Structure 1
Amino acid sequence: MTHTPVLPPAGGAATGLAPARRADIRACVDSFDPTLASTVRSAMAEMEAELRRRVVAPGDPWLSEAAGHLIRAGGKRLRPLLVILAAQTSRPDPGRVLRAGIAVELMHVATLHHDDVMDNATLRHGVPSANARWGNRLAVLVGDHLMAVACMTALEVDTTLVRRQGWTLTRLVRGQAMEGSVLRTDQSAVEQYLQVASDKSASLFALCGWAGAVCGGADEAVAEALADYGEALGIAFQISDDLLDIVADSAASGKTRGIDLQKGVRTLPILHALAAGDQHAERLADILANGAVDDPALRHEALERLRASPGLERSYEDLRRHAAVAENALARVPDGPARDALLTVSDFVVKRTY
C-alpha cells in the first residue's frame, strides 16, 4: 500500500476550532494518481449530465423542474465518487458504473426531500428546500419520484443491485424512524446514535462500495470489503458533519453553526458533552431541557460550552476510530491507485473538520 493515511493527531479538537481552510472534495480528487484523477473527473462529469437528464419527466414540466431542483443546486457527489473509485479497484464497465452511481445519488437526493419535510427545513444546498417552495405534499411526491427513477436506473445494472438497493432502503427507513424516538432500554444514547448513523447515513455509503465493486467485476470478498469500508466511512462522515456544526468557521465552510441545536437534535458531540459530568454538562442540560434551542444567545452559549467540553475530543476520537476501521477494510482490496484514493477519501472525511 503506497499511501500513508494522514490522520490529525489526538487532541486535534483544539486546533480545529479556527482553521483557515478546510479540505474539499475537489482537492481530494486532485491528490489522486494523475491518471486516476483524470478518469474520475471525466466519469463525474458524465454522471452529472446523465443525472440531470434522468430526472426529467417527459410531458410534465413541473415535475421535471421540481425533481431537478436540488440536483441543480449541487452537492459534494461523494456517493457517486465512491462508486467510481470502488469500481476502479477491478475492471470497471463504464456504463454500469455510470448507472450505479446515478441510482445511489438519486436515492440520497430522494431522502433529502423526505428529511426536509420531517424537519420543516427551509434551505438545502443554499437554495429553498422543495417543501418550502412547493409545500410538503408535493415535496414528498418529488422524493418518491426520484426514488422510483433510482430503482429503474438500478434495474439497468442488474437485479442484484436492485435487491441490495431494497435492503438499503429498509435500513434508511429504520434509521429515520429511530432518530428522535424514545431511547430503548437496551441501548445507551450513544449506542442509539451510532445505530441511527449506521442505518440512515452509512448504509448508502456501504451500497456505494458494494455497487462499484460489482460493476468492476470484483469477487464477492472484495465487494463485501468495500461495503465494510463504506459503512465505516459513512459513520465517520456523519460524525464529521456533527462536529462541523459546532466547530466550523461559517465564512470559510459555508455552513451555519448550531443547526442541530436549533432543531433539538442530540448529536454525538452533544451526547458526549452531556455525559462529561462537568460544569459545561450541567449548563448544557439546562439549555437543552426544552429541546430546540431557538434563542440565538443561548445557542451561542451552548456552542461555546460544547467547544470547551471534553466531549468534543471524545467525538474526534470516535471520528478517527471509524475512519481507521474504513482504512483497515481496504486491506482486503487489491493494491493500486484506486485503493490509495479510497484511503485519501477517508483522510478527507477526518480533515474536513480541522
Structure 2
Amino acid sequence: MNTSLNTPGNPAVNTPGNASNALPTTDPGLEDALREGLEVVERRLRAAVGNADPIADAASRHLVEAGGKRVRPMLTLLGAHLAAPGAPVPDEVVAAAIVCELTHLASLYHDDVMDSAPTRRGAPAAHHVYGNNVAILTGDLLFARASNLVADLGPEAVKVQAETFERLCLGQLHETTGPGPDQDAVAHYLDVLSDKTASLIATAGRFGASFGGGSEAVVQAMVRYGEDVGVAFQLADDVLDLTSDTGESGKRPGTDLREGVPTLPSLLVRRAAAEGDRAAQEVVDLLDSGRLGDDTVLAQAVAALRVHPVTDQARTTAREWAQRAATHLAGLPASPAREALETYAATVADRVV
C-alpha cells in the first residue's frame, strides 16, 4: 500500500517527496488543489509532532518520517471540495486533517506494541527501536497533540473526536478479546473493523464536509461513505494478504496468518470447516499446526486458503462494501470531488480483482 492511489493494486496516497503521489482524479483543478493541500498538511503534521525533548521528538517523528498513505487527510480535503466545489479550503479543514492523521499515527504506536509487530511502513516498529514503554507513551503524546488541535475547532469537533477515540478503543478491545461464545465470528470481525478502522475514516470525511461549509446531507453522505469504504479497504487487505505475490498490502503475503491475526478468509474457512467442509478443515489444521513460522508450511497454508472458495467469498464481500460506499454519494450534485470519491471506492474494489 505504498504506491499510487490510482494503481489497481494499491489505492494509496503517498506523502510529498515519495516517488509517486497520484490522486484519484483526472480533474486538473482538483488535482492541484489536493496536492497543494496535502503538502500543507504534511508540513504542519511534521511540525505538530515536534518536541523540545529529544527522546519524545525522535520517537514522535518515527512513523511520520516513515511515510504513509495519508488517506485520512486526503478524504478530509475531498470532503471540503465536495461541500464547496472550487472554493478555497478553509484552514479549519487542514487542522482537522492533521487531527485525524495524528490520531491514526497514535493508534499505530499502540497497535504495534499489542501485536508485537516487527515493522511498520517498511521501517522497524517504534517499540523495536525505543522499547514498549516509550512507544506507548509516544502514542499517548500524539493523542494529546490531536486533542490540543481539535480543541481549537470547537466543542462539537471535540465531541466527535472523543466519540471516535472511544470507538477506536472499543474496536481494539473487541479484537483483543474476540467474539463471545454465542457471537458469530464474522459479524464480530466486521464490527471490529467498523470501530477500529472505519470510524476515523468517517470522521475525516465528516470534518472535511462540515468545516468546508457543507449541508447536513453532504456531511452525512461523507460519514456513511467513510464507514463503508473503511471496512472495504481492510477487507481488501485481507484478500491481498493471500493473493498478492508482491506484498501489495504493504506486508509479506501470509503475514496475517503467521501472526494469528483474524482476517475474513481465515474466519470464513473456519466456519466452513465447522460445517463439515473437509478441504476447509485441512486449511484449519495448517493454521492451527503451530508451524506457520516455517516458510514452507506458511506457503502451503497461503496456497490452500487462496484456492478455497472462501477467498472468493471474501473478495466479493470487499467489493460489496466498496460499491455500497459509492452509493451514499448518489444523491449529491455531480462534481470533480464526488467523482474522485467514487473513483477511490472503485479502486478499493479493484484491488481484489
Partner of 1:42: 36
For residue 311 of structure 1, what is the aligned residue in structure 2? Answer: 310
Residue 76 of structure 1 corresponds to 69
Counterpart Cα distance in 1 of 2:291 and 2:134: 26
**Aligned equivalents of 1:281, 1:227: Cα separation in 2:** 37
Q: Give 1:329's aligned amino acid.
A: H
Greater shift in the superposed pair: 267-276 or 137-146? 267-276
Residues 80 and 102, structure 1, Cα contact 8 Å, conserved in 2: yes
Residue 120 in 1 paired to residue 113 in 2? Answer: no
Deviation sequence 1:154-200 (CA, Å, 0-9, x none)? 12222211110100111011110111424224421100110101010
Aligned-pair identity (%): 40
Let me know the Cα RMSD of the aligned residues.
Answer: 1.9
Report if aligned partners of 2:77, 2:89 keep a CA contact under 8 Å in 1: no
Map of 1:133 onto structure 2: 129
- Is the alpha carbon distance of 1:197 and 1:158 closer, same or farther for their aligned partners in structure 2, counting shifts above 3 Å? same
Paired residues of 1:28 and 1:345 also in contact (CA < 8 A): no
Aligned-partner Cα distance in 2 for 1:21–1:319 = 14
Counterpart of 2:36, as a letter, is S
Q: How many residues align?
A: 334
Confirm or deny: 8 A CA contact 2:238 2:263 kept in the other structure: yes
5+ residue gaps in structure 2? 1-6, 14-20
Tell me, in whole angstroms, the C-alpha distance in 1 between the residues paired with 2:128 and 2:154.
36
2:226 paired residue number: 230
Instruction: Assess if the C-alpha contact under 8 Å between 1:205 and 1:234 holds in 2.
Output: yes
Q: Which residue of 1 aligns with 2:81?
A: 88
* In 2, Cα distance between equivalents of 1:150 and 1:333: 31
Residues of 2 paired with 1:190 and 1:263: CA distance? Answer: 19
Deviations 1:218-272 (A, max 9, x none): 1223211210000000000110111111111226665311111111122101112
State the one-letter code of the partner of 1:243: V
Pair 139,156 (structure 1): closer, same or farther in 2 beyond 3 Å: same
* CA contact 1:239–1:319 (8 Å) conserved in 2: yes
Q: Assess if the C-alpha contact under 8 Å between 1:248 and 1:255 holds in 2.
A: no
1:267 and 1:242 map into 2 onto residues whose CA distance is 6
Query: In 1, Cα distance between the equivalents of 2:247 and 2:196?
Result: 28
| Equivalent position SS for 1:257 | coil
Paired residues for 1:316-331 under 5 Å? 316-331=315-330
Match of 2:269 in 1: 273
The superposition leaves residues 93-131 of structure 1 with CA deviations (integer Å, 9 ceiling, x where unpaired) of 431111000000000000000000001112100111110
CA–CA distance in 2 between the matches of 1:318 and 1:36? 31
- 1:4 aligns with none
Q: Are 1:158 and 2:172 matched, yes or no?
A: no
2:12 match: 25
Deviation string 1:289-313 (CA, Å, 9 cap, x unpaired) is 2568322222111100111010011
Q: 1:40 to 1:254 in 2, by over 3 A?
A: same
> 1:141 corresponds to which letter in structure 2?
L
Of structures 1 and 2, the one scoring higher in RCO (CA 8 A, sep 6+) is 1
Distance 1:30 1:238 in 2: 19
- Is 1:60 the counterpart of 2:59? The answer is no
- Counterpart of 1:189 in structure 2 is 185
- 2:105 corresponding residue in structure 1: 109
Normalised by the length of structure 2, the TM-score is: 0.90
The answer to whether the 8 A contact 1:245-1:256 is kept is yes
Deviation of 1:32 after TM superposition, in Å, equals: 3.1
SS in 2 for 1:29: coil
Pairing of 1:238-277 with structure 2 (within 5 A): 238-250=234-246, 255-277=251-273
Pair 180,254 (structure 1): closer, same or farther in 2 beyond 3 Å: closer
Give 1:28 deviation, angstroms.
Answer: 5.4
The change in CA–CA distance for 1:183 and 1:254 in structure 2 (over 3 A counts) is closer
In 1, the alpha carbon distance for the partners of 2:258 and 2:10 equals: 26
Moved over 4 A (4+): 251-254
Q: Is the 8 A contact 1:28 1:344 kept in 2?
A: no
